[in-house]
Structure 1
Amino acid sequence: MIISFSKTIYIFLLLSSILIITSCARPRPVLYPNDHFNEVGAKQSLQDIQKCREMAETAGANSSTKSNAVRTVENSVANAGMGAVSGVVGGAIIGDALKGATVGAASGAAYGLMREFINGTGRQVTNSTYINFVNRCLKEAGYDVEGWE
């Protein structure tokens, strides 16, 4: 059974939306529980992290970059386009270019989406300047940043 092109697009957009919604958490610094951290506590450290984030953004460091989910959608759309083009060729050979394009687009989008799921998605890639700014701010406040998650 062949799914119509509009249904294919609808399913693709639905899956893409779910992927984007589930991957919106911003990366954050992970602090080592040194003497300063233990002295001020977790609540104060979260406030200090927020203060350093705001300072970084005020200074012009951009914290918002494309998440892997956004790149997944873009790659899947590109794969759908490539699949549609190759499907037209295959469909023309069998006598139905439109059906070939529909199958090709659906296959290309599904391939792109599944490849990203298998490779792992959902983590945002944060601008290195922003990370460095926040790390320095936290270090000057007495924290030890172990990394970002």
Structure 2
Amino acid sequence: MKYPISFRLLPAAVSALALLSACATGGPSSASARPVLYPNATLNRVGDAQGQAEVNACMSRASAAGLSPSQSGNEVGRRAGEGAAVGGVASAVGALITGRGGEGVLRAGAAGAAVGGSAGAVSGAFHNDKPNSTYRSFVQRCLSERGFEVIGWN
């Protein structure tokens, strides 16, 4: 069976999306960032390996206290729903304006909802990795109480 070009390009589009998502999930403003320690007297005395062990311990302690490194509110699902609603309504209204009646409006609305939902899900995937400031404050205070200074997150 011969598929339209849009279906033949689907695997390439999915691969490109996965690659872009992987690139967008790092850096200091992502939830996967780790504290960067200033080389103060404590870090110089215990060394980098012990400093990273203390970072891990403080991160575990924050998780045990019920905190999560990411501030996820199911951004993917929320944006997919918004996109589907907006795309569906816009397409149905467009079909009514151009004079398509009955089934044409339903088809246009369903297609618009599918496109809008997909676009919303992609948008949500790029906005779903927000750091939790309370988690970061907890980790920084824990490290501070152990004599370390956090100068940022990477």
User: 2:60 is aligned with what amino acid?
Assistant: E
Q: TM-score scaled to structure 1, two decimals?
A: 0.66
In structure 2, runs of 5+ residues without a counterpart are none
More helix by share: 1
1:18 equivalent to 2:18? Answer yes
Q: How does 1:1-149 map to 2 (within 5 A)?
A: 14=14, 18=18, 22=22, 23=25, 26-66=32-72, 71-72=75-76, 74-94=78-98, 95=100, 96-105=104-113, 107-109=115-117, 112=120, 116=123, 121=126, 124-149=129-154
Aligned residues: 137
SS in structure 1 of the partner of residue 130 of structure 2: coil
1:58, 1:113 → 2: CA distance? 31
Give the % identical residues: 33
Distance across 2 between alignment mates of 1:111 and 1:62: 27
The answer to whether the 8 Å contact 2:72/2:128 transfers is no
Amino acid at match of 1:136: R
In structure 2, what is the Cα distance between the partners aligned to 1:35 and 1:29? 17
Structure 2 CA distance for aligned equivalents of residues 42 and 123 of structure 1: 31
Higher Cα Rg, which structure = 2
> What CA distance in whole angstroms lies between the structure 2 residues aligned with 1:108 and 1:123?
18
Q: In the alignment, residue 97 of structure 1 is paired with which amino acid?
A: V
What are the ranges of 5 or more consecutive residues in structure 1 without an aligned counterpart? none
Shift of 1:103: 4.5
